[in-house]
Amino acid sequence: MDDFSNPPSVEEQRRFRRRPVLWKGHVDLSTHRLECRVLNITPGGLLAELELPLAAGVQVRVLLPNVRPLSAEIKWYADGLHGLSFSEPPAQIRAAFGNKADALGFNIAPDPVQ
């Protein structure tokens, strides 16, 4: 298993309700664009498969269809999956998704931490 950092704690994992999706998109680094497949998304971040492993702490822009570019940071990588945290406040992420935010459950209160 390639692991560039520790996976997030249970508290971080449950900050928002995850919405399973299967979207194609791109992740822009300073000089490269990688294809990605988004597996779940929240107002706080997303889970994605990328073409190449990226280390925790790398700053990226996430490009999804019909959504403005979103700034994010790679938080962890394990078993081919990347956890990304959006760099913008959840309210701005909700606004970026427009009408899709309601369908994705972004306007619902986060799950309580157990």
Q: Is residue 4 part of a domain?
A: no
Please give the chain's pLDDT, 114 residues, in tens.
Answer: 444 455 555 445 556 788 999 999 999 998 899 999 999 999 999 999 998 999 999 999 999 999 999 999 999 999 999 999 999 999 999 999 999 999 998 875 555 554
Strands (E), the chain: 19-28, 33-42, 45-50, 59-63, 70-78, 81-86
Q: Is residue 76 part of a domain?
A: yes
Q: Is residue 90 part of a domain?
A: yes
Q: What pLDDT is stored for residue 2 in this prediction?
A: 47
Q: Write out the residue range of the structural domain in which residue 49 sits.
A: 10-103
The CA–CA distances, whole Å, from 35 to 31, 38, 45, 48, 51 equal: 14, 10, 17, 10, 6
Q: Number of structural domains, the chain?
A: 1
Q: pTM for this one?
A: 0.80
Look up the CATH number of the domain holding residue 41.
Answer: 2.40.10.220
Q: Is residue 92 part of a domain?
A: yes
Q: Is residue 79 part of a domain?
A: yes
Q: Is residue 2 part of a domain?
A: no
Buried residues in 39-69 as b, exposed as e (16+ CB within 10 A): bebbbbbbbbebeeebeeebebbbebeeeee
